[in-house]
Amino acid sequence: MLFHRGAAALDALRAAGVDTMLLKGAALVSACYGDAGLRAMEDLDVWVPAGAVGRAAAALEACGWRSRYRLTHAFLRVKHAAPFTDGGGHQLDLHWHVFEECCAPGDDDDLRAASVEIEFLGRRTRVLCPADQLLHACVHGARWARRRRPSAGSPTR
């Protein structure tokens, strides 16, 4: 269901003239695994150019997605992505930067230039090239593991 809602979101973004790139789970399923059952996911991650965030958010809202936050200029300056949900409880993270640590203008240019086109449920979009995909998975995984480390004095397994 998440993929079908995500495909509709990609349609809305394309109709608004917004370039897209899938990140994380949906990118790996589409470009590598080929079977959504091989990769558990809670949300769909979609990157758009930083200059297109306003159009992208409006397009998503027009097809039933709602942002948890107001995407103000200040928010866009300090964050790299924002979560959206739809009425069915599906989640989509709208990214305007691939890496949380790299949010300066132009930081995504080389990643976008090296990205490859794929088909996602009959829609054309892009994913990071294999080397950038590996780097993204490692950086995101390291960040995830660092945030979930047990605190001092707590039992470990």
Model confidence at 16: pLDDT above 70: yes
Query: What is the chain's mean pLDDT, rounded?
Result: 85
Spell out the long-range contacts of 57-66 with Cβ–Cβ below 8 A and sequence spacing 24 or more. 57/82, 57/94, 58/16, 59/12, 59/13, 59/15, 59/16, 59/18, 60/9, 60/12, 60/13, 60/84, 60/92, 60/94, 62/12, 63/8, 63/9, 63/11, 63/12, 65/9, 65/92
Q: Note the pLDDT of residue 148.
A: 56
Model confidence at 37: pLDDT above 60: no
- Over residues 138-155, the pLDDT tens digits come to 888 887 655 555 555 545
Q: What is the CATH T-level fold of the domain 2-147, as seen in this structure?
A: Beta Polymerase; domain 2 (3.30.460)
Q: Note the pLDDT of residue 38.
A: 53
Model confidence at 4: pLDDT above 70: yes
The model's confidence at residue 49, banded by pLDDT at 50, 70 and 90, is: very high
- Over residues 62-106, the pLDDT tens digits come to 999 999 999 999 999 999 999 999 988 889 999 999 998 888 889
